[in-house]
Amino acid sequence: MGRVQVGDKAEFSRMENGDFSDSELIHHFRGVLVAVSAGDRENYDELVGYLHPKGNLNPDEVAILVTTLKALSGAASYIDSVHHEALLFAVSRMSLWNYGTDVMDALLELIISLAASNGKYIDWCLEMLVKHFVPPYYLLDSLKQENGIDRKTKVLSRVHAALKEIADLVPLAPLRLSPIVVQKMPSVFSKEPEIVMYVENMLKLESGAIGEIIGSTMLPALVDRLLDLDVEIGWDGILQEDGKCIFEMELEDFTEFGDDENCDSMPPSELLNRRKLQGNLVVDKVDSLMVLTFLHLESCQSSGRLAEVFDVLLGSFQKTVLNAYKSKFTQFVMFYASALDPEGCGVKFAMVLTDMFCRDVNPPITRMSAVAYLASYLSRAKFLSAALVTNILQSLVNWCYAYCKSHNFDMNPRAHQVFYSGCQAVMYILCFRLRSLMDIPRLKLQLLNMPMEAIWKHKLSPLKVCLPTVVVEFLRQAKAAQFFMMSETFVFNDMLESDFSKAFGGMDRLDMFFPFDPCLLKKSESYIRPHFVRWSKVRTTYDDDDDNEVSDSGSEASDDDFVDRNAMDMIDDDMMVSVEGLDFTPDLNKMSITPKNSLKYGFETRCTRMPARIRPSTSPESL
């Protein structure tokens, strides 16, 4: 043994001096590897010893390591998964993040040779590369420093180049890569920088050379993970637990709002909810991932492949997001993608949702969800043309009208939930859009010709079932716009209250699900904002007089108005009536997904507390 050892060491020292040619070295290594199967492990063990990670390497050790790795890649086809387990294990423990560029290149060369030389190693090699998407735990913090960033680019550019090279050599490798990438994705509980970095790499893969093959799995996987995180937040629960102190907090916060410059344009109640989410680690993760996705979508747009990416997203939206119970943030990916290409993606999204609602084969829950998305989308998306909105309204109204004709029954919220959700969607869209549609004569005519009155008057009485706040606001605007007028009296004057809406939608309460309510994520919201219609900025049919006053200060006043509306989200449906009694304008306080907690807390306490606490911020207009 000793002799061989000495010989081997001598060889390694010769190697350092450059006495060996590359091919001689490779031959020697082959011999060493082959000898293992014959039972001679001494040289092999020494070889493995060189590969085991040590602390700081001196230049000589680095040189030996590089030479060893290079020679091994020459002998890659001799590496056997049974006999050379120790060698493979040692290689698998090496991390690119710990070495300089020389070792990195040599290690990657070995990995590529292994992948190409034997089909058995392809998964192992891909996993090894995917593992490098995220640095070791102890390096995560240092990545923000300058040399950390430098190292990050060095490692990741090499990893992606290696993946590309493997894909060139083994054309089917990307097919095996995508399940590995999805499987190795950090869990919901992982740290923010970790998951963010991993997703960065996924998106890089998606837009990279092999994105064509694996792109269709990367984005859905990302959306699914976003949804996992989204569900994890469960902020319905948070708010209900803290329900008692919501209003106290709001009061305390009012003083701070003035100081916070960034939040000037934001209604305090939204800020309040945002603050509730602050400090929640999961929320930060979702926020960062959303921003990453938005940036990726932007880059897709500039490279002209947004349409194909959108198709992938749309597929995953239909499969998962749409049916997820009250998804809170994930849907904004679709919103943003639509905003980037209103003519193409924006229209397509609306059409697909309409189609999903109108098709009988879809289960009722999917159809209700689709129409809720549609209503919220058409109302909130600034980038959609009035003509498109009218056309979709037309098809919704037509569908509802046909339904009325074929179902001559009395009101039954459970049995006709799809119909009621359709009606509510029509009303909700009109709350936001009526004024702008009425300004265009052609569309006004189209609107007036829609058989809406017949629907509202039908025995199914949608006005009594749909969410009262929506109904009230709709009727108010309709009245102001002189809709449904018969001999100078408004037809629906007595239709302003309802107890039935609770039954509609069942436990899921899809009737009050408005997916594109203001996004509460701080960073993502700034991307959404330019494309987003806030209720406070909507010009309604009844505020004609304010036309000239719509100045900066005017809009701020109406922002404050929105405060109340949003704050009143906490109130039960029935509350609205009494709030109205207390000289509050009836409004779209329900146009938010903010959960209500009326079941838990008494009606009366809230009723007395609400106005008092809200008043300090209310605008003169609404008082």
Of the listed pieces 112-120, 335-343, 416-424, 427-435, which binds other proteins according to CB under 8 A? 112-120
Choose, by CB under 8 A, the member of 122, 203, 297, 425 that binds other proteins: 122
Site for other proteins in 60-99 (CB under 8 A): 74-77
What's the gap between Cα 262 and its chain centre? 23
Q: How far is the CB of 117 from other proteins (least distance, A)?
A: 6
CB of 323 to other proteins, least distance (A): 14
Determine if 100 is a binding residue for other proteins (CB under 8 A): no
The pair of three-digit structure tokens given for residue 459, joined into one six-digit string: 């025995």
Region near other proteins per CB under 8 A, out of 118-126, 394-402, 456-464, 481-489? 118-126
As given in the structure block, the two tokens for residue 188 are 């919901």
Query: What's 320's DSSP letter?
Result: I
Nearer to other proteins, 75 or 314 (CB): 75
Q: Is 119 one of the binding residues for other proteins (CB under 8 A)?
A: yes
Cα torsion 173, 179, 182, 185: sign: negative
Report the distance separating Cα 478 and Cα 247, nearest Å: 33
Closer to other proteins by Cβ: residue 41 or 176: 176
φ and ψ at residue 167, rounded to 5 degrees: -65, -35
Q: How does DSSP assign 488-533, residue by residue?
A: TEETTTT----SGGGTTTGGG-GGG--TTSPP--HHHHHHHGGGB-
**Which of these segments, 114-122, 343-351, 417-425, 593-601, binds other proteins (CB under 8 A)?**
114-122
Query: Shortest distance, CB of residue 109 to other proteins, whole angstroms?
Result: 10
C-alpha distance from residue 15 to each of 53, 57, 531 (Å): 20, 17, 64
Q: What is the CA radius of gyration of the chain?
A: 32
Tell me whether residue 121 or residue 335 sits nearer to other proteins (CB atom): 121
Element (H, E) at 321: none
Contact assessment for residue 419 and residue 458, using Cβ atoms and an 8 Å cutoff: no
User: How many angstroms separate the CA atoms of 451 and 473, rounded?
Assistant: 20
Residues with Cβ within 8 Å of residue 129, at least 6 apart in sequence: 111, 159, 162, 163, 166
Binding to other proteins, residues 153-182 (CB under 8 A): 168-172, 175-176
- Least distance (Å) from other proteins to the CB of residue 363? 10
Q: Taking CB under 8 A as the rule, which mask of x and - marks residues 17-56 in contact with other proteins? A: ------x--x------------------------------
Q: Residue 47 or 155: which CB sits closer to other proteins? A: 47
Residue 507 interacts with other proteins (CB under 8 A)? no
> Contact between 449 and other proteins (CB under 8 A)?
no
Residues in contact with other proteins, total (CB under 8 A)?
21
Q: Is 622 helix (H, G, I), strand (E, B) or coil?
A: coil
Please identify, using beta-carbon distances, which residue of 20 and 483 lies nearer to other proteins: 20
Residue-wise over 223-243: b if at least 16 C-beta within 10 A, else e?
Answer: bbbbbbbbbebebbeebbeeb
Q: Does 118 bind other proteins (CB under 8 A)?
A: yes
Which residue type is seen at 407?
H
Minimum CB separation of residue 112 from other proteins in Å reads 9
Decide: 355 and 405 in contact? Cβ < 8 Å: no
Backbone angles phi, psi at 489, to 5 degrees: -115, 145
Q: Rank residues 76 and 340 by Cβ distance to other proteins and give the closer one.
A: 76
CB of 22 to other proteins, least distance (A): 8
Pick 126 or 378: Cβ nearer other proteins: 126
Residues 82, 361, 486, 507: which binds other proteins (CB under 8 A)? 361
Positions touching other proteins (CB under 8 A) are: 23, 26, 74-77, 113, 116-120, 122, 168-172, 175-176, 361
